[in-house]
Structure 1
């Protein structure tokens, strides 16, 4: 355990893992979303800095939504060599990057500023009319990032989806197929707006460090349901729980 983890143990709780989570899951919690974002940003900053030290570059993919906004703000203040960090998105809606529903806009607004203004950002959205048409070009862009990712930060919906891997999506089986050699997949969820482009399950699982960032007691109920179903076609998050990740949660 790193010195940073030891310091964090004093403020957060690393031993309070909920009973239904598998041994492959590491669980960390704090009293509020602000302290959680600070702690998570510090450990991710340490991972990125170590990757830069070892290989000269680091890579990270982040998710959208409201939950990661405090985390993005903390990222922007990290004192690391951001020009040596490659940043992309776990998924994005196929909308104009200036659309308020765009994850690209979210990241540009809250993360790519301050000390992180020099990060090498690689968006998923391109000029193609549809996500399906644009997937090939986006795949080519991601070849500029050395895989596996050093860090992936996931979120999770109440239906157990993560990234844009929705249980209602016709593309789910292809997205979750670990023999799928593509990094990305276009999805059209029936219960959410917009066509999307998302990292595949294989790319997420292959990442060196996968974090699941959650707020609220309802998200714990979703995790419990996922472990009861034990079926990724019903709740895709199950695959990532079984393969191992670190959950960072606050009430």
Structure 2
């Protein structure tokens, strides 16, 4: 099934690409265009991205886009509670694949804090993100279980994390796989983005989206919380 065959809400725009490389190039071009527009309009831009292996091609394509990166603030939608030097760190991933060359001029606001425990780290990150300007561009991913950012089904704080009127910007979250401890931006903050893209690849992710459209239980599949807000989906087989 093609992504265009699914019955999307009016707020969703679904785009299909032939290959991961084509998707990464188009997403990078679209993100860069919106960042340039934000800089032109307000003198600065804020970009929030997701980690993991899937966005690497996008990061490396975005790295070559021409814009004034010194006027861009970059942050993360979620993070594993590990130091930047750890192989699983999303901040470390960005340093290797995005924050290179001209992009190194951007300001990076990470989520990891070396606190006594996960709850304390999340509270420190929440306070640090009080200085995050309005998000101009947000790029999300999605797992086969329907999680996005680190808003995982069955995580103890999920209900609070999905509240659009919640009090927190960052919450501690538990993933069903190692490493278990995560920090995640909440829906309250994620939903404020001026432009939100969801980048997904493969028939498995298409099946997940099909299942997400079939019901409205946000706790079972957190991605559902974002399918009725303005969302641009970038998908390839």
Taking structure 1 as the reference length, the TM-score comes to 0.90
Contact map agreement 2:49 2:140 (CA 8 A) in 1? yes
> For the Cα contact (< 8 Å) 1:49–1:80, is it kept in 2?
yes
TM-superposition CA deviations, 1:180-230 (whole Å, max 9, x none): 122111112345532111110121111111100011111110000111122
- Structure 2: runs of 5+ lacking an equivalent: none
8 A contact 1:170–1:189 mirrored in 2? no
- For residue 27 of structure 2, what is the aligned residue in structure 1? 40
Runs of 4+ displaced beyond 4 Å: none
- Aligned residue in 2 for 1:88: 75
Instruction: Please give the secondary structure, in 2, of the residue aligned with 1:229.
Output: coil
Number of residues paired by the alignment? 236
Paired with 2:147 and 2:201, the residues of 1 have a C-alpha distance of 15
**1:52-201 matches, cutoff 5 A:** 52-147=39-134, 149-201=135-187
CA distance in 1, matches of 2:5, 2:108: 36
| 1:93-135 Cα shifts (integer Å, max 9, x gaps) | 0012111111111111000002211110011001213231012
Q: CA RMSD in A?
A: 1.5
**Which secondary structure state, in structure 1, belongs to the residue aligned with residue 171 of structure 2?**
strand
136-145 or 43-52, which deviates more: 136-145
Q: Normalising to structure 2: TM-score of the pair?
A: 0.95
What SS does structure 1 have at the residue aligned with 2:52? coil
